Amino acid sequence: MNALAATSRNFRNAARILGLDSKLERSLLIPFREIKVECTIPKDDGSLVSYVGFRVQHDNARGPMKGGIRYHPEVDPDEVNALAQLMTWKTAVADIPYGGAKGGIGCSPKELSNSELERLTRVFTQKIHDLIGIHTDIPAPDMGTNAQTMAWILDEYSKFHGHSPAVVTGKPIDLGGSLGREAATGRGVVYATEALLAEHGQAIRDLTFVIQGFGNVGSWAARLIHERGGKVIAVSDITGAVKNADGIDIHKLLAHKDKTGSGVLKRENAADVKAKFIIEAANHPTDPEADEILSKRGVTILPDIYANSGGVTVSYFEWVQNIQGFMWEEDKVNNELRRYMIRAFHNIKGMCQTHNCNLRMGAFTLGVNRVARATTLRGWEA
């Protein structure tokens, strides 16, 4: 099941549990705006090449829209739509004053030089600059983009609108980026895991962990679990896997990765999973059919729209710091993130108890209910 179908299915289940009006349900599902632009740039050899850029702005009932920009050959409208919708519910679950958006350009960043990537980013920004903004839509890095990409967007946007550091998050520290942002998603995953384990009378130091994916999020999560005394016994990424029943030395593994340079849970492999807890650090890593199989086997799944919300939460902190023109110490960033993650977990558990549902539906009902309330209060029928 693709990401859009899965996200929409989860939304509809939540809407049914909440007893939402069918007209409101339809209104919440339809994106606020979909943007598709053509980006033509000269390559380094002088030839011209065209790419298609997308931005889906899903909902702004609770505040400006927020979401990443990805550079990937398989960026398509359906995927961008699903991820934009997911951001609407994710920001609501985290209780930060945003709605959801997502964007991307269908390109292979590894096949482009740095100057070609810069030209592409600037052309894309020129095409969408009047549709994004500090109080409208705030992009961030995603797959295939990074702090440098955000610096280019900030610079190009500022040519039209004056110096505007709050227009993007995930920026370099020297341009108003927040301390703690790089580790934020992985750190949030660990805080979420601690909140879940505390419910079960356990702690990270008592358990063994397997980490699937060793990019930014997986490597930070592994490092922080290791520091808390948790035993990481296996790590895998697209290049292969490392396993050690006595525990992997994460710091050595990180050093090796730095020196030397995707997996999804589906119905076919769900029965092979031996874990008691699954923490979804990626977006949509477990398809709904696998979800049902794992739930029936008593596996507790901490859903993506909560577990990986540390990144957007610290993006919110970065935006707040930029608007105030006052930067926080890293300890303050991490302490505030912990407070937000723990509070969100207890809010999700409250919805689970009210509606007698699992954690995924607890998170979806929490997020959808907050957006529905905001939409109704603003007078959507007028």
Catalytic residue chosen out of the listed positions 23, 43, 66, 102: 102
Q: Is 102 a catalytic residue?
A: yes
Rounded distance between C-alpha atoms, residue 202 and residue 197, angstroms: 5
For the record, the structure tokens of 285 come out as: 């890593």
Cross-strand pairs, 105: 53, 71
Rounded distance between C-alpha atoms, residue 140 and residue 282, angstroms: 16
Nearest alpha carbon to residue 217 among 134, 305, 284, 307: 307
Residues involved in catalysis: 102
